[in-house]
Amino acid sequence: MTRITANEFSGATFRPQQFIQTERRNSKLNIEQLNLFVESSPENAQLTHDLITQVTMDPVLKTGSDYYELDKDQHRKATALKIAKMALYMEQDIQMAFKRYRNHDVVKSLQTKDDFPILTAKDLAVFDKRLSIISNQDPQLGTRIGVHLGLFGNCIRGNGTDKQIRYWLQEKGALFMKGIYGCFAMTELGHGSNVAQLQTRAEYNSKTDSFVINTPDLPATKWWIGGAAHSATHATVYARLIVNSKDYGVKTFVVPLRDPDTFQLLPGVFIGDIGAKMGRDGIDNGWIQFQSVVIPREYMLSRFTKVINDGDGGNPRVVTEPTLDQISGYSALLNGRVNMVMDSFRFGSKFATIATRYAVGRQQFAPDNDKTGKAPETQLINYPLHQYRVLPHLAVVYLISPVAFKLMDTYHTTLDQLYKVSSAGNKHQLKPVSIKLKDLFIDSASLKATNTWLVASLIDELRQACGGHGYSAYNGFGKGYNDWVVQCTWEGDNNILSLTSARSILKKYADLAKGNVQESESFRYLSPQLVMDVLKGTKSAKLETLEDYTEVWGIMLVKMLHYCANIVKQTKSTDSISKHLVMVSRFHAFHSMLRAYFLKLQSPSDSHVTDENSKKMLWNLYRLFSLYFIDKHSGEFQQFKVFTPDQISTLVQPKLMALLPEVRNECIALTDAFKLPDAMLNAPIGYYDGDIYNNYYNEVIKNNPPEADGPGKPEYHAHLTTMLRRGFQESEDLGKLGT
């Protein structure tokens, strides 16, 4: 209230702050250890903390509630300013990574000295993490830099020769956000998922030893290209390689778009803005059409496919390394998928914190047994339905973290191996690396799809759990949802990714009969012993030991795969089971998440959790996650006879409902453990002090000063008063007009 101090709450005696303080006082958890658990190590936890502090304090990077008021143009301008600031942080990060901070300009050496090493992912690790952290605060900024470094940069890294990598990324400066700014021109108006059918053409002209890039028709227009509308100077273009009229399929090319000094479009390049989107309006997505744009042969990325010109303009040859050529075409997308799993953890933790704190602070309705009418109203979190609506999402966030760190690790190891093996031309080592890469494709696809969907539901359901106040722009759910859900579509549509990964899993299952045993941790449920036991009926689902909570998903998967394999055998088609296959991918992800969490928590050195209460609560979250989704998917669990109907009623649901009050008792500590400062949450109903109503009111007032003395006429005042004041019509005497 403008004229009443914050403490003067009367009447309904709301006490949000006291409630949150009480929770903190009563907590038996060790927040530091929990934080180490979700951040994976003391070093990581410290780094995360430092980076969060920097991005939320930096005067350019910080994001307040006015962020929710910006229109498209303002978002774009603010994002550009932030990109420029991030470039400065980047140089510092690289300087520090080389431990050559003093007396030496590392970037200069990287750009100018041929004997300086090519930058590795490890050298960029701090900046990558910085980007991941800032994406949690401002996702569109993360994307804009991510398109340049992660897509444009990784496309060159994955498909370019060592020389090309050094040239574009280091000498020309792309890796340091200097000299050139890149975009990733893969998707076309007519083709998204089906990359192999992209229609942009790159025709080789042997006389000039160059390629001519053309957009043959409207659907071949490059579309959705982040950064193209106003920022990018160069693009990695996916186009069909045509040599002597023969089509060699889709390859990648670096194509300059604009003069980096004047930003003038180069000859034959036509570009427009894609305009308004559901979210992330800070990204200048654009379309590009090419009209006979010429680039030198050397601009084709040629690690796995080369066009060789013998010099006399005669017979150019195309040389390809078939195994890796196809995989590498998609490898730029791998990085994005791996990052999206980490994003799911961070973005989810933000909204879980907001909704949990609101649920503890908000009261509504007196208890049923209150006859006096004077009892304080009940905190939302004390309603069993509300616990069911909020707490499983908290478990989801905890369960994403271990698998996200593990996937990131596997990604870096595998890509390093690929890079080394292919640089060394070590042919007989290609096979094991390509198997690892394929497994990584399955895992990252299934985890990307599953977790981006989980977080989309999380934001939506937690917004609803915050009632009307969840609909206010200032509490972040609206822009959060709008920004988030594109993750379910881009860099692999979730349904397509699920189908693709499930088909590969089904194939692995079928290969078991041929004696192909899976060694990877992700496919543990395909061990011959388990499969045999499940199919023979000697292994059945139970929920006794902690392992059981993971293993039920393995049993479920085996039974479903068996069912699907039979149908494919009969019908020679996966048509009738596509709906089941989407579930196979989802359940595979659940299994991986539970397994990674289990292994981590079981090991004191990995988990960093020695406190018994904290450990116990973390196991509660593990069980809650498993039970919540068994119950959600009880249709499948019963249909495939993993559990009987009675087990659902007497085992699964009672265990689930019994866990909720236990987790409820520590829900504030569990969210405090994410250590997200208010500035990162940017949602006043979720601020640390729990002073919901004052915080929220203050943000509203800050952005919308109350109506001053005197008429607060809106711009449209005249339209309304004219309407309200209009009088009666004088009735005509129609008789006067004759008949």
Collapsed DSSP state (helix, strand, coil) of residue 676: coil
CA 254/CA 160 separation, integer angstroms: 10
Q: From residue 393 to residue 432, what is the string marking binding to a copy of itself with x (rule CB under 8 A)?
A: ----------------------------------------
Q: Which is nearer to a copy of itself, 104 or 507 (CB)?
A: 104
Q: Is 410 helix (H, G, I), strand (E, B) or coil?
A: helix
DSSP 297-365: GGGB--SSEEEE--SSSS--EEEE-HHHHHHHHHHHHHHHHHHHHHHHHHHHHHHHHHHHHHHHH-B-S
Quote the CA–CA distance of 435 and 432 in Å, as a whole number.
Answer: 5
* One of 36, 52, 55, 83 touching a copy of itself (CB under 8 A): 83
From 23, 188, 491, 699, the catalytic residue: 491
Question: Looking at residue 379, what DSSP letter applies?
Answer: B
CA 427 to CA 432: how far, in whole Å?
10
Euclidean distance between CA atoms 685 and 690, whole angstroms = 7
Closest approach of Cβ 698 to a copy of itself, in Å? 10
The SS3 call for residue 213 is strand
Instruction: Please list every residue from 637 through 656 that binds a copy of itself, using CB under 8 A.
Output: 637-641, 645, 648-649
Residues 231 to 270: which contact a copy of itself by CB under 8 A?
A: 231, 233, 258-265, 270
Spatial distance between the Cα atoms of 345 and 451, rounded to a whole number of angstroms: 8
Contact window for a copy of itself (CB under 8 A) among 302-310, 327-335, 542-550, 708-716: 708-716
Residue 507 burial (CB count, 10 A): 13
Between 2 and 529, CB nearer to a copy of itself: 2
- Per-position x/- string for 433-462, each x denoting binding to a copy of itself as judged by CB under 8 A, each - no binding: ---------------------------x--
Tokens of 331: 């490898």
Taking the C-alpha atoms of residue 131 and residue 343, their distance in angstroms, rounded to an integer, is 10
Using the contact rule CB under 8 A, the part of the chain among 100-108, 156-164, 310-318, 431-439 near a copy of itself is 100-108
Figure out which of the listed residues 54, 161, 417, 495 binds a copy of itself, where binding follows CB under 8 A.
495
Distance CA 424, CA 426 (A): 5
Q: Provide the β-strand partners of residue 251.
A: 239
348 is an annotated ligand-binding site residue: no
Are the C-beta atoms of residues 367 and 380 closer than 8 Å to each other? no
Nearest approach in angstroms of CB 370 to a copy of itself is 11
Write out the two tokens for 10: 């009367």
Residue 6 near a copy of itself by CB under 8 A: yes
Applying CB under 8 A, does 205 fall inside the site for a copy of itself? no
Q: How far is the CB of 388 from a copy of itself (least distance, A)?
A: 6
**CA gap 112, 688 in Å, rounded:** 48
CB 632 to a copy of itself: min, Å = 8
Task: Confirm whether residue 187 is marked as ligand binding.
Answer: yes
Indicate whether 568 belongs to the interface with a copy of itself (CB under 8 A). Answer: no
Q: Is the CB of 388 or the CB of 619 nearer to a copy of itself?
A: 388
In whole angstroms, the minimum distance from the beta carbon of 639 to a copy of itself comes to: 5
Which CB atom, from 424 or from 734, has the smaller least distance to a copy of itself? Answer: 734
* Among candidate residues 152, 153, 135, the one with its CA nearest the CA of residue 186: 152
* Options 111, 305, 607, 671; binder of a copy of itself; rule CB under 8 A: 111
Determine whether 43 is an active site residue.
no
Q: How far is the CB of 538 from a copy of itself (least distance, A)?
A: 20
Q: Measured from the CB atom, is 29 or 541 closer to a copy of itself?
A: 541
Residue selected from 37, 181, 211, 553 as contacting a copy of itself according to rule CB under 8 A: 181
CA 156 to chain centre: 22
Nearer to a copy of itself, 536 or 572 (CB): 572
* E strand map for 621-738: none
- Asked if 481 touches a copy of itself (CB under 8 A), the answer is yes
Residues annotated within the binding site for FAD are: 187, 226
